[in-house]
Amino acid sequence: MSQDLPKEANITIVVRVRPRNPREIRDNSQIVVNPVSGVRGSREVQVRYNGSDTKTFTFDKVIGPEASQQHVFYEVVSPILDEVLMGYNCTIFAYGQTGAGKTYSMEGDLQNITGEHAGIIPRTLTHLFQRLESETAEYSVRVSYIELYNEELKDLLSADDPDFRKLRIFEDFSRKGSVLIQGLEESIVKNVDDVIQIMHRGSSKRQMASTKMNESSSRSHCIFSITVHIKEATPDGEDLLKVGKLNLVDLAGSENIGRSGAESRRAKEAGMINQSLLTLGRVINALVERSPHVPYRESKLTRLLQDSLGGRTKTCILAAISPARCSLDETLSTLDYAHRAKNIRNKPEINQKMTKKALIREYISEIERLKADL
C-alpha cells in the first residue's frame, strides 16, 4: 500500500520527579528540584544549586512527585498506544540514576497489576486488551522480554535452564537500521491473566542487587516488547493488515560508582552499565550534531535502540529524577542528557499493508484496466 514519505518528528521527552524517599527524608536532604506550573500543566523544571542559583530546563512534559501511576499512563503512554494500534513502531525508555524511579514507573507493583502502583508495562497491556476486545477486527498479541547484562543478551521468557539461552543480534536487511535477535522467544498473550504470568516469570529473573543508593537496584537494561497484528476491513471491503510494536525499555541506573557503594563484581557491573550509557550518550550527540558516523555498533544497547534513535520509530524518553540535594549532580546529568536528546529527529513509518488476497484482487483489477486501455 503506498504511503506518503515519512515526516521527521522530534523525540518526546518527559521528566518525572519522584517524591523524596525515606533515606532522603531521614538525612534531611533538601528539595532542590521543582516543576514549574503552567497553563497546560508543567513543561519546565527548575533546579536550585550553589545556594540560590537556579537553572531551568524545558521539555515536552514535566510530571511532579504528587502524580499517580495512572496519571503517568494517561499523560504519556495512552497517546503512544493509539499510535501502536495505527501500525507504528514506538519506544518508551526510562533513563536516570539508580533509585530515581525508573523501574517503579515501568513495572511498579507486579503483585497487583490492576492496583494504584501498577506501572507502564502492566497498564499498557491491560488497556491494550480492553481496546482490542471492544473492536470487531481480528488481532493477535505477542510479547518478548530481554535483558542486557554485562553486554550479554538473555531471554527472560525462555523456559531453558536458569542461565537462560544466550541471544545474538543480526542486522535486519529488510528494514534498514533495525536488528533481529536470533533465538528470541515471543509468547502469545490472549488476556490479562496471561500477561500477569509472563510479567512474573520475566521479572523474577532480572539481575537485582542492593546498593547504597537503592535497596533493590536493577543491574541490567531490560526491553519488554509488545507486537500487535490487526486485520481489519477498509471502507471498500478490502482486508488491511496493521502491525504495531511497542518497546518498553527500563535502562539500568546511571550512577557514581563511589557514591553507590558498588564493590568488586558490582563495581565491574556498574562500569559496564556506565559504558553502555556513555555509548548511548555519544549516539545522542552524533545524532544531534548530524554527524555522518553514529556509533550504534559500539554497544549492544545502542544496537538494540538504533531504530528508536534516529530511525523509523516514534520515541519517548522518560527521564526519572530525584528532587533531593544529595542527588543533585546525577539529576543535573540526567536533565542535560534529556535536553540534548530532545533534538533527535526520527522518521516514523506506518506498518500497514493489504493482505495477500486483497493485493491479488487489486493486481487483477489493475490488469483488467490495462487490457481495456489497449
Q: Are 67 and 76 in contact (CB under 8 A)?
A: no
Cα Rg, the chain, nearest whole Å: 22
pLDDT recorded at residue 209:
42
How is the chain split into domains, by residue range?
9-373
Q: What is the DSSP letter of 43?
A: -
Helix (H) or strand (E) holding 288: helix 264-288
pLDDT recorded at residue 258:
47
pLDDT recorded at residue 367:
77
**Dihedral (C-alpha) 162, 166, 172, 173: value to the nearest 10 degrees?**
-150
pLDDT recorded at residue 165:
66
pLDDT recorded at residue 161:
61
Helix (H) or strand (E) holding 370: helix 356-373
- Taking the C-alpha atoms of residue 361 and residue 366, their distance in angstroms, rounded to an integer, is 9
Give Cα 58 to chain centroid, integer Å. Answer: 21
pLDDT recorded at residue 365:
72
- Taking the C-alpha atoms of residue 187 and residue 54, their distance in angstroms, rounded to an integer, is 49
- Mark the binding-site residues, compressed into ranges: 96-103
Q: Which amino acid, residue 58?
A: T
We find that the CATH architecture of domain 9-373 is 3-Layer(aba) Sandwich (3.40)
Query: What tens-digit pLDDT sequence spans the chain (374 residues)?
Result: 444 556 889 999 999 999 999 999 999 999 999 999 865 679 999 999 988 899 999 999 999 999 999 999 999 999 999 999 999 999 999 999 989 999 999 999 888 888 999 999 999 999 999 999 998 889 999 999 999 988 889 999 987 764 556 788 998 887 777 889 988 989 999 998 898 888 888 888 876 544 444 444 457 899 999 999 999 887 777 788 899 999 999 998 875 444 444 455 556 666 677 788 889 999 999 999 999 999 999 999 999 999 999 999 999 999 999 999 999 999 999 999 999 999 999 999 998 877 666 667 666 777 777 777 76
Calculate helix-pair angle for 264-288, 328-341, nearest 10 degrees: 30
pLDDT recorded at residue 135:
84
pLDDT recorded at residue 306:
93
- Mark the binding-site residues for ATP, compressed into ranges: 96-103
pLDDT recorded at residue 3:
47
What's the pTM value of the predicted model, to 2 decimals? 0.86
pLDDT recorded at residue 332:
96
